[in-house]
Amino acid sequence: MSESNFVDYVKIHCASGNGGAGSRHFMRTRTNAHGGPDGGDGGRGGHVILKGNSQFWTLLHLKFTKHLKAEHGGAGSKQLMHGANGLDVIVDVPLGTIARDAETGEFECEITEDGQTHILVPGGRGGLGNDHFKTPTRQAPKFAQPGESGIEQWKILELKLLADVGLVGFPNAGKSTLLSVISAAKPQIADYPFTTLVPNLGIVRYRGQKSFVMADIPGIIEGAHEGKGLGLRFLRHIERNAALLFMVPADSKDIKKEYHILLNELEQYNPELLDKYRILAITKSDLADDEILEELKKDLPDIPHVFISSHQQTGLEKLKKVLWDELNRNA
């Protein structure tokens, strides 16, 4: 997915419909010139509704649609006829979308399943017709309820990618290369930092029909939680991952230190990220001989680790097994 097509944040104005007015009608027939009240209720105003769609991967379709307006409800009429409900505005969003109130920042909902719906802004209720207000002592009420007004609000939609494994590493750590080798994803790859400017998803096949989803998150740098580098723009995508695959090159000056810098950035952003499964992949291991690799093993973080080379395609099957076992450890 190209950078211009990936949109994970939009601010939209939502207006639900007004409820229709209740009717103040009285029954009049050739045989009954003074019939009782028979005014029907007004229809409700249209809602603005979010709906999960597994075929969507971005909020691009909402980038230039800043205003969403639902229809008003119809008025009630004679013979207790109910007014038509206003048409809803249904907004398809990718799985992993959350909605917030734009003024308060308050969390409102998250869409995580295909077909899941949530009323983002409810339409106004229709007014009651005069038939509801008749009593033994007031048999001809000449009033009915007006419909409720709709609601106008600004909402923020944010996308947090849903993936089983998130790749965490400094720029040029080999994340995109790994994803391109073990899945069908084709991220942009080059030998310079920040090649990846948007998250990429790939489906990793494992032993027949088994599979899991891996997300290549744009590179983190020290200070990312303060907005440095690509900053907070993509850190939120890591929150949805079940497991985190830390990637540090074998030619790093200090693998353990680099790992702890990455871990600290995640902790500063959201301490709950430390509760996720963590695996370490030492990439570009083809650049080191066996003696150097043995030395590196003596000072690694105390988490499962695998030495891999995406170019030589060594260690990848072992990596997939470790990831699969971690993802299904409590299954």
- Kindly indicate the confidence band of residue 266, based on its pLDDT and cuts at 50, 70 and 90: confident
Check whether residue 191 and residue 83 sit in a common domain.
no
Range of the domain at 81: 1-159
Model confidence over 171-183: pLDDT tens digits?
777 888 888 888 8
* Structural contact between residues 66 and 72, judged by C-beta atoms closer than 8 angstroms: no
Check whether residue 233 and residue 281 sit in a common domain.
yes
**Predicted local confidence at residue 302, as pLDDT:** 87
The one-letter amino acid at 28: R
The residues with which 18 forms a beta bridge, in sequence order, are: none
Which of 215, 278, 290 is CA-nearest to residue 248? 278
The phi and psi torsions of 315 (rounded to 5 degrees) equal: 80, 0
**Predicted local confidence at residue 331, as pLDDT:** 55
**Predicted local confidence at residue 9, as pLDDT:** 84
Check whether residue 147 and residue 286 sit in a common domain.
no
For 243-257, what is the mean pLDDT?
A: 89
- Sorted by sequence, the CB contacts under 8 Å of residue 9 that are 6+ apart come out as 59, 156, 157, 158, 159
Q: To the nearest 10°, the Cα dihedral for 44, 48, 54, 55?
A: 110
Helix or strand holding residue 321 (H, E)? helix 316-327
Last residue of a domain, one of 144, 159, 174: 159
Check whether residue 134 and residue 64 sit in a common domain.
yes
Check whether residue 173 and residue 314 sit in a common domain.
yes
Question: Quick one: what percent of the chain has pLDDT higher than 70?
Answer: 87
- Kindly indicate the confidence band of residue 96, based on its pLDDT and cuts at 50, 70 and 90: confident
**Predicted local confidence at residue 92, as pLDDT:** 95
Concatenated DSSP letters for 200-248? EEEEEEETTTEEEEEEEPPPP-TTGGGT-TTGGGTGGGGGG-SEEEEEE
The span from the CA of 261 to the CA of 220, in Å, is 10
For 278-301, what is the mean pLDDT?
A: 85
**Number of domains observed in the structure of the chain:** 2
The span from the CA of 180 to the CA of 186, in Å, is 5
Check whether residue 131 and residue 224 sit in a common domain.
no
Q: Looking at residue 270, which CATH number applies to its domain?
A: 3.40.50.300
For 175-199, what is the mean pLDDT?
A: 63
Number of C-beta neighbours around residue 297 at 10 A: 11
Which of 126, 48, 125 is CA-nearest to residue 83? 126
Check whether residue 22 and residue 86 sit in a common domain.
yes
Number of C-beta neighbours around residue 139 at 10 A: 10
* Structural contact between residues 233 and 225, judged by C-beta atoms closer than 8 angstroms: no
Q: Looking at residue 139, which CATH number applies to its domain?
A: 2.70.210.12
Check whether residue 177 and residue 248 sit in a common domain.
yes
Check whether residue 138 and residue 180 sit in a common domain.
no
Greater confidence (220 vs 37) lies with 37
Helix or strand holding residue 176 (H, E)? helix 175-182
For 288-316, what is the mean pLDDT?
A: 86
Check whether residue 169 and residue 226 sit in a common domain.
yes
Greater confidence (18 vs 237) lies with 18
For 93-105, what is the mean pLDDT?
A: 91
Check whether residue 250 and residue 234 sit in a common domain.
yes
Last residue of a domain, one of 139, 159, 179: 159
* Structural contact between residues 15 and 67, judged by C-beta atoms closer than 8 angstroms: yes
**Predicted local confidence at residue 205, as pLDDT:** 86
Token pair for 4: 């211009």
Model confidence over 201-236: pLDDT tens digits?
778 888 877 888 888 877 565 554 455 444 455 667
Last residue of a domain, one of 113, 133, 159: 159
- Kindly indicate the confidence band of residue 127, based on its pLDDT and cuts at 50, 70 and 90: very high
Greater confidence (163 vs 11) lies with 11
**Predicted local confidence at residue 50, as pLDDT:** 97
For the chain, give the mean pLDDT: 84
**Predicted local confidence at residue 40, as pLDDT:** 94
**Predicted local confidence at residue 179, as pLDDT:** 84
Check whether residue 78 and residue 226 sit in a common domain.
no
Question: Quick one: what percent of the chain has pLDDT higher than 90?
Answer: 41
Concatenated DSSP letters for 45-109? PPPEEEEE-TT---SGGGTT--EEEPPPPPPPBTTTBPPPPPPPEEEEE-TTEEEEETTT--EEE
